[in-house]
């Protein structure tokens, strides 16, 4: 490889030496010996600096040239011709070929390519010695290359073509197309060679091989050549411009001498000559075309210009191909996305839409597996981790928080438990659907085990000497150093990330819409609750009043007609009164029941032991003289609405008393057991019991399993119990058998869940 | 106690049946107080403030106001509020007589300074008992000295 290793190169992961900034790689004040460099002042074109080798090429020592007009060195005719060319050069333009210059010196005839460019107010004139062959017309070569480039349809094809044509044009032993990745590591993506130099195809070179400063030079000056790495540098005299005292900026000088470190590097690579042409895409360094030859070799300036032209054609086509490939993928992603969006909109539910179109779901991200996690569900599609692993992953993502879209091509690197399932999910792309719950759509990609060939171990490059000085040691061996890259998936493309981001927006939109619908349902519910309240309010007034009147007037009738009524008449009136009172009672009970469902819970700590004793004393007033044995076990303290719970316990205890009325020796047992997350309470009696067939009816409103004459009551007690317990997130049920007693159970959640 | 010294009982009741039954109940409680009946909230206020048809009535506040909750024009709670915000009337005991068991009515009534709140029982006997108890307590046993304010009992 041709590597400008003039700069220090940082120790990877360690020191970032500032030598980079200190070493003026563009100001060596020396040149390679395959030509002469002169710095001219304007407008007189007098020589202000010249390379020490002027005598060899021009037959004149620097002293004989310095301070003299250019014509002194090259003859007036040539100088005048060059002056015309120089006049046309624009400031800041790249070196251009001005003309061929022939000079007789040292008993031979030299043919030079005279190349000029401006640096500040100076003109740099370089006379590059050529082999004397006439300048070829490279137009057909570039033309053919352009035609071929237009025909290729893939990037590998294009890079292959570039390497082949560049070698055909230059005749170097080996031509490489070298591409930078996002971390500025380089990979040889194409190669053409005659076998005289080892193949480096697919080799990687660490970013430190070409430090940032050298890369910047590659970007601004697209061409470099070192015809013979064994050269001895030739100094400029004077080394500084006398007028300014500054060293010449040689960034664009084609003869510029390179760092000895770089020459060592070339020797390690067994190449005597090298050349490179930068490939820029959108103004950024994309890669290099790199030329090597075992023996010293050069390529004339016009050939190098042709190579540069080819590299630019290459870059244009590359952009086009990448753009097309990106577009195609984008189209695929978009159409999959819009299909899913349409189904989602149609169904109003993203889960079922995604589930029923797995091909589009997987296709969007070009993934092998996907998972949809919502509050309750975990749907797995394709090749995925297990449900348990997926849920754990989602919890981790949720805990990490905040990112709407998360992606990695090395999940084991950020989430260690995933090494268990890296075979299916080394790559993860995730979109968060909710800020409140771990709801996600996840895409997985399997591990891709890559073997990467490095041009030597990527870390071994510089070492720190005992005195603390960092010394560069170009690798002495370019034997392939293999590294197996594990725990990685194929990286996610930007089009895919955009696709899932779109999808996320749609999902979040639809989730929001549902939330709005729920909110409006809630509002409706509140409205109808209000109506219900108004209804029961008017029932309590309007229905009770006439019942009271019936009772009142019937009473008055009985009084005013006393002595005039038969026994039957008396019985009729008594029934009117009794029924109306009963109806009033029912209305009251019903309203009480509806109030239980509506009123807010006011939870306090309730010692159930105390509550049960208190209620027992109370209900026993109606059971004086009966033979009743109470067994009340220890009872816990619970968190509940005291009023409601009192009502429920009272109903249960008075039921127990009521339905044991015909039992001789009554035993009533109250107790509880602890079942982890809830308390289970029971009230057990040895009364009439009930037929289990009707157990389901027991807790209904106005449900009765016994005849009026036997057991009075409105049949609302157990409905109240159930409502109270359900309001406390508990359950109610009953067990029993006819004439064998009944046991009523209810549960209350343990304290941890209580507020 | 002589009849002339007794202040009247003001009964505010719109429903004629309830009115009749309440009057009967009061009659049976052997109270000597005159019972003044008005049929809506507005009329009650007129009576109490000696306005409208009651412009010319003799001065003096009732011994107790038995006030139905649901009334035309101005309901019982509004009447209660007027009575309790008038310094001259604040001391007059007000007993809410209502069919409603609704908690919010009860809470509101106490907030406004009601002296007692009675849900009319469906049973006639219970009703008579309740009225009698009330009448005796407020009209006889608990009669405040004329003109004096007894704020300690009001709220």
3-state SS record for A19-36: HHHHCCCCCCCEECCCEE
| Percentage above 90 pLDDT, chain A | 33
Please give the residue that has the higher pLDDT: either A101 or A454.
A101
Pick from B79, B18, B69, B19: which is nearest to B43 by CA? B79
Rounded CA-CA distance B143/B126 in Å is 24
pLDDT level of residue B151 (50, 70, 90 thresholds): very low
Length of chain B: 155
Instruction: With CB atoms and an 8 Å threshold, state whether A552 touches B127.
Output: yes
* Residue A535 near chain B (CB below 8 Å): no
At residue A645, the pLDDT reads: 92
At residue A471, the pLDDT reads: 38
Chain B residues in contact with A540 by the CB 8 A cut-off are: 99-102
Instruction: With CB atoms and an 8 Å threshold, state whether B17 touches A580.
Output: no
* Residue A703 near chain B (CB below 8 Å): no
Chain A residues in contact with B125 by the CB 8 A cut-off are: 555
Rounded CA-CA distance A236/A253 in Å is 13
Q: At which residue do the structure tokens 């995604």 appear? A: A354
* Residue A483 near chain B (CB below 8 Å): no
Chain A residues in contact with B131 by the CB 8 A cut-off are: none
At residue B81, the pLDDT reads: 93
Instruction: With CB atoms and an 8 Å threshold, state whether A588 touches B124.
Output: no
Q: Give the pair of three-digit tokens for residue A639.
A: 């968190």
pLDDT level of residue A10 (50, 70, 90 thresholds): very low
* Residue A590 near chain B (CB below 8 Å): no
Pick from A261, A187, A179: which is nearest to A6 by CA? A261
Instruction: With CB atoms and an 8 Å threshold, state whether A548 touches B122.
Output: yes
Instruction: With CB atoms and an 8 Å threshold, state whether B122 touches A595.
Output: no
Instruction: With CB atoms and an 8 Å threshold, state whether A541 touches B125.
Output: no
Chain A residues in contact with B17 by the CB 8 A cut-off are: 549, 552-553
B129-143: average pLDDT: 70
Instruction: With CB atoms and an 8 Å threshold, state whether B17 touches A537.
Output: no
B61-80: average pLDDT: 88
Please check whether residue A369 is in contact with residue A358, taking contact to mean a CB–CB distance below 8 angstroms.
no
Please check whether residue A365 is in contact with residue A406, taking contact to mean a CB–CB distance below 8 angstroms.
no
Pick from A637, A693, A685: which is nearest to A662 by CA? A685
Q: Which of A533, A552, A641 to mutate to test the interface with B (most CBs of B within 10 A)?
A: A552
Chain B residues in contact with A552 by the CB 8 A cut-off are: 17, 21, 124, 127
* Residue A538 near chain B (CB below 8 Å): no
Chain B residues in contact with A545 by the CB 8 A cut-off are: 15, 18, 99
Chain A residues in contact with B120 by the CB 8 A cut-off are: 544, 548
Q: Residue B76: pLDDT above 80?
A: yes
At residue A23, the pLDDT reads: 53
A262-289: average pLDDT: 86
The Cα of B85 is separated from the nearest Cα of chain A by a number of Å equal to: 27
Instruction: With CB atoms and an 8 Å threshold, state whether B100 touches A540.
Output: yes
Phi, psi values for residue A124, rounded to 5°? -100, 120
What value does the mean pLDDT of chain A take?
A: 83
Instruction: With CB atoms and an 8 Å threshold, state whether A537 touches B100.
Output: yes
What value does the mean pLDDT of chain B take?
A: 80
Chain B residues in contact with A538 by the CB 8 A cut-off are: none
DSSP string, A329-368: HHHHHHHHHHHHHHHHHHHT-HHHHHHH-HHHHHHHHT-S
Which of A:628-667 have CB within 8 Å of B?
none
* Residue A740 near chain B (CB below 8 Å): no
The partner residue sitting opposite B70, judged by closest CB among A541, A547, A588, is A541
Q: Residue A735: pLDDT above 80?
A: yes
The Cα of A546 is separated from the nearest Cα of chain B by a number of Å equal to: 9
Q: Residue A19: pLDDT above 80?
A: no
Question: B9-27, pLDDT tens digit by residue?
Answer: 999 998 888 899 888 888 8
The partner residue sitting opposite B123, judged by closest CB among A553, A581, A599, is A581
Preceding peptide of A43 cis, ω within 30°: yes
Rounded CA-CA distance A670/A362 in Å is 59
Q: Which residues of B fall below an 8 Å CB-CB distance to A? A: 15, 17-18, 21, 24, 70, 99-103, 120-125, 127
- Highest mean pLDDT of the ranges A86-95, A100-109, A149-158, A516-525: A149-158
Does the predicted interface ipTM exceed a cut of 0.90?
no
* Residue A599 near chain B (CB below 8 Å): yes
* Residue A84 near chain B (CB below 8 Å): no
The partner residue sitting opposite A555, judged by closest CB among B17, B103, B124, is B124
The Cα of B18 is separated from the nearest Cα of chain A by a number of Å equal to: 7
Instruction: With CB atoms and an 8 Å threshold, state whether B120 touches A548.
Output: yes
Instruction: With CB atoms and an 8 Å threshold, state whether A549 touches B99.
Output: no
* Residue A594 near chain B (CB below 8 Å): no
Rounded CA-CA distance A378/A373 in Å is 5
The Cα of B60 is separated from the nearest Cα of chain A by a number of Å equal to: 33
Instruction: With CB atoms and an 8 Å threshold, state whether A552 touches B120.
Output: no
CB atoms within 10 A of CB A163: 24
Question: A626-683, pLDDT tens digit by residue?
Answer: 889 999 999 999 999 998 999 999 999 999 999 998 888 999 999 999 887 789 999 9
Beta-ladder partners of A178 = A188, A288
A74-89: average pLDDT: 90
Continuous segment of H or E residues that includes residue A484: strand A480-485
Instruction: With CB atoms and an 8 Å threshold, state whether A556 touches B102.
Output: no
pLDDT level of residue A20 (50, 70, 90 thresholds): very low
DSSP, collapsed to helix, strand or coil, labels residue B39 as coil
Instruction: With CB atoms and an 8 Å threshold, state whether B103 touches A581.
Output: no
* Residue A547 near chain B (CB below 8 Å): yes
pLDDT level of residue B149 (50, 70, 90 thresholds): very low
pLDDT level of residue B1 (50, 70, 90 thresholds): very low
A88-97 burial code (b ≥16 CB/10 A, e <16) = ebeeeeebbb
Question: A46-74, pLDDT tens digit by residue?
Answer: 999 999 999 999 999 999 999 999 998 89
DSSP, collapsed to helix, strand or coil, labels residue A601 as coil
Longest CA–CA span in chain A (Å) reads: 167
Rounded CA-CA distance B38/B50 in Å is 13
Please give the residue that has the higher pLDDT: either A479 or A605.
A605
Question: A359-379, pLDDT tens digit by residue?
Answer: 888 888 888 899 998 877 888
Instruction: With CB atoms and an 8 Å threshold, state whether B99 touches A595.
Output: no
Q: Residue A193: pLDDT above 50?
A: yes
Shortest CA distance from A543: residue in chain B = B99
Pick from A107, A122, A101, A133: which is nearest to A35 by CA? A101
Please give the residue that has the higher pLDDT: either B4 or A420.
A420
pLDDT level of residue A455 (50, 70, 90 thresholds): low
Shortest CA distance from B21: residue in chain A = A552
Q: Which of A178-182, A403-407, B129-133 has the lowest mean pLDDT?
A: B129-133
Instruction: With CB atoms and an 8 Å threshold, state whether B124 touches A551.
Output: yes
* Residue A580 near chain B (CB below 8 Å): yes
- For A43, A217, A595, A607, A723, the CA distances from A645, given in Å and listed in that order, are 108, 84, 14, 11, 10
Q: Residue A467: pLDDT above 70?
A: no
Pick from A214, A295, A254, A288: which is nearest to A10 by CA? A214
Q: Which of A532, A533, A538, A548 to mutate to test the interface with B (most CBs of B within 10 A)?
A: A548
A605-624 burial code (b ≥16 CB/10 A, e <16) = ebebbebbeebbeebeeeee
Shortest CA distance from B15: residue in chain A = A545
Task: Please report which residue ranges of A52-154 form alpha helices under DSSP H.
Answer: 54-58, 62-65, 70-74, 76-88, 139-151
Q: Give the pair of three-digit tokens for residue A674.
A: 């602890």
Continuous segment of H or E residues that includes residue A414: helix A411-414
Q: At which residue do the structure tokens 């080798």 appear? A: A53
pLDDT level of residue A452 (50, 70, 90 thresholds): low
pLDDT level of residue B152 (50, 70, 90 thresholds): very low
pLDDT level of residue A751 (50, 70, 90 thresholds): low
| Percentage above 70 pLDDT, chain A | 90
pTM for this one? 0.52
Q: Residue A449: pLDDT above 80?
A: no
Instruction: With CB atoms and an 8 Å threshold, state whether A581 touches B102.
Output: no
Chain B residues in contact with A599 by the CB 8 A cut-off are: 103
Instruction: With CB atoms and an 8 Å threshold, state whether A545 touches B101.
Output: no
The partner residue sitting opposite A581, judged by closest CB among B99, B101, B122, is B122
Q: Residue A92: pLDDT above 80?
A: no
* Count of A-B CB contacts under 8 Å: 53
């Amino acid at each position: 490889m041709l590597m400008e290793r003039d700069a220090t190169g940082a120790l990877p992961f360690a020191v970032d030496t500032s030598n980079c900034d200190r070493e003026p790689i563009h100001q060596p004040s020396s040149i390679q010996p395959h030509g002469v460099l002169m710095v001219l002042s304007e407008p007189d074109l007098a020589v202000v600096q010249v390379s020490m080798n002027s005598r060899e090429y021009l037959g004149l020592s620097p002293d004989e040239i310095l301070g003299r007009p250019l014509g002194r060195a090259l003859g007036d005719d040539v100088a005048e011709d060059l002056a015309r060319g120089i006049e046309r050069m624009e400031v800041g333009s790249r070196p251009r070929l001005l003309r061929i210059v022939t000079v007789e010196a040292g008993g031979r005839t030299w043919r030079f390519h005279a190349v000029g460019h401006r640096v500040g107010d100076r003109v740099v004139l370089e006379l590059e010695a050529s082999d004397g062959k006439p300048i070829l017309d490279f137009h057909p070569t570039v033309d053919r290359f352009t035609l071929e480039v237009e025909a290729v349809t893939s990037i590998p094809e294009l890079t292959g073509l570039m390497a082949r044509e560049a070698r055909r044009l230059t005749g170097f032993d080996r031509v490489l197309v070298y591409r930078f990745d996002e971390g500025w590591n380089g990979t040889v993506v194409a190669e053409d060679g005659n076998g005289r130099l080892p193949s480096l195809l697919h080799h990687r070179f660490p970013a430190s091989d070409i430090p940032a400063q050298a890369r910047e030079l590659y970007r601004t000056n697209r061409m470099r050549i070192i015809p013979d790495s064994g050269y001895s540098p030739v100094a400029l005299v004077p080394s500084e411009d006398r007028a300014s005292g500054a060293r010449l900026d040689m960034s664009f000088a084609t003869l510029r001498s390179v760092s000895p470190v770089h020459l060592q590097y070339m020797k390690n690579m067994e190449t005597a000559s090298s050349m490179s042409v930068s490939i820029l895409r959108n103004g950024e360094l994309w890669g290099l075309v790199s030329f090597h030859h075992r023996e010293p070799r050069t390529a004339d300036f016009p050939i190098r210009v042709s190579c540069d032209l080819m590299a630019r054609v290459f870059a244009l086509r590359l952009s086009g191909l990448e753009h097309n490939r990106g577009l195609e993928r984008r189209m695929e992603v978009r159409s999959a996305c819009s299909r899913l969006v349409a189904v989602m909109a149609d169904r109003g539910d993203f889960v079922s839409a995604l589930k029923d179109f797995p091909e589009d779901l997987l296709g969007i991200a070009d993934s092998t597996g996907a998972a949809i996690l919502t509050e309750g569900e975990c749907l797995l599609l394709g090749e995925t981790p297990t449900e348990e692993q997926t849920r754990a992953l989602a919890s981790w993502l949720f805990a990490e928080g905040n990112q709407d879209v998360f992606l990695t091509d090395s999940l084991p690197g950020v989430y260690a438990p995933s090494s268990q399932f890296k075979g299916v999910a080394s790559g993860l792309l995730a979109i968060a659907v909710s800020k409140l719950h771990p709801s996600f759509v996840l895409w997985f990609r399997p591990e891709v085990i890559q073997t990467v060939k490095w041009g030597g171990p990527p870390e071994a490059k510089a070492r720190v000497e005992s005195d603390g000085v960092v010394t560069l040691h170009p690798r002495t061996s370019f034997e392939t150093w293999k590294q197996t890259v594990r725990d990685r998936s194929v990286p996610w493309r930007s089009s895919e990330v955009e696709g899932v981001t779109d999808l996320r927006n749609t999902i979040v939109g639809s989730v929001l819409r549902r939330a709005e619908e729920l909110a409006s349902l809630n509002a409706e519910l509140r409205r109808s609750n209000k109506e219900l309240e108004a209804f029961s309010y008017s029932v309590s007034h309007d229905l009770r009043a006439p019942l009271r009147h019936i009772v009142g007037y019937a009473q008055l009738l009985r009084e005013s007609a006393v002595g005039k009524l038969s026994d039957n008449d008396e019985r009729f009136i008594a029934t009117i009164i009794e029924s109306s009172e009963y109806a009033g009672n029912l209305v009251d009970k019903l309203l009480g029941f509806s109030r239980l469902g509506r009123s807010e819970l006011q939870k306090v700590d309730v010692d159930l032991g105390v509550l049960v004793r208190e209620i027992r004393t109370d209900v026993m007033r109606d059971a004086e003289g009966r033979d009743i044995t109470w067994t009340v076990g220890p009872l816990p303290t619970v968190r509940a609405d005291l009023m409601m719970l009192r009502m429920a316990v009272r109903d249960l205890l008075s039921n127990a008393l009521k339905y044991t009325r015909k039992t001789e020796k009554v035993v009533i047992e109250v107790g509880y057991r602890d079942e982890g997350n809830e308390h289970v309470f029971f009230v057990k009696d040895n009364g009439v019991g009930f037929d289990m067939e009707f157990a389901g009816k027991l807790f209904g409103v106005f449900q009765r399993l016994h005849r009026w004459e036997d057991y009075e009551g409105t049949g609302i007690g157990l409905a109240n119990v159930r409502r109270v317990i359900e309001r406390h997130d508990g359950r109610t049920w009953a067990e029993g058998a006819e004439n064998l007693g009944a046991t009523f159970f209810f549960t209350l959640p343990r304290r941890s869940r209580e507020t | 106690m002589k009849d002339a010294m007794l202040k009247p009982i003001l009964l505010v009741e719109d429903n004629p049946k309830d009115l009749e039954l309440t009057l009967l109940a009061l009659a049976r409680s052997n109270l000597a107080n005159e019972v003044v009946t008005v049929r809506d909230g507005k009329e009650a206020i007129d009576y109490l403030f000696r306005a409208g048809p009651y412009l010319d009535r003799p001065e003096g506040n009732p011994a107790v106001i038995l006030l139905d909750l649901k009334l035309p024009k101005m309901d019982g709670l509004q009447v209660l509020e007027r009575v309790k915000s008038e310094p001259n009337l604040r001391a007059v005991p007000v007993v809410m007589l209502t069919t409603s068991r609704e908690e919010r009515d009860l809470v509101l009534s106490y907030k406004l300074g009601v002296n007692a709140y009675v849900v009319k029982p469906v049973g006639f006997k219970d009703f008579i008992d309740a009225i009698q108890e009330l009448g005796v307590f407020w009209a006889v046993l608990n009669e405040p000295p004329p003109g004096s304010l007894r704020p300690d009992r009001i709220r």
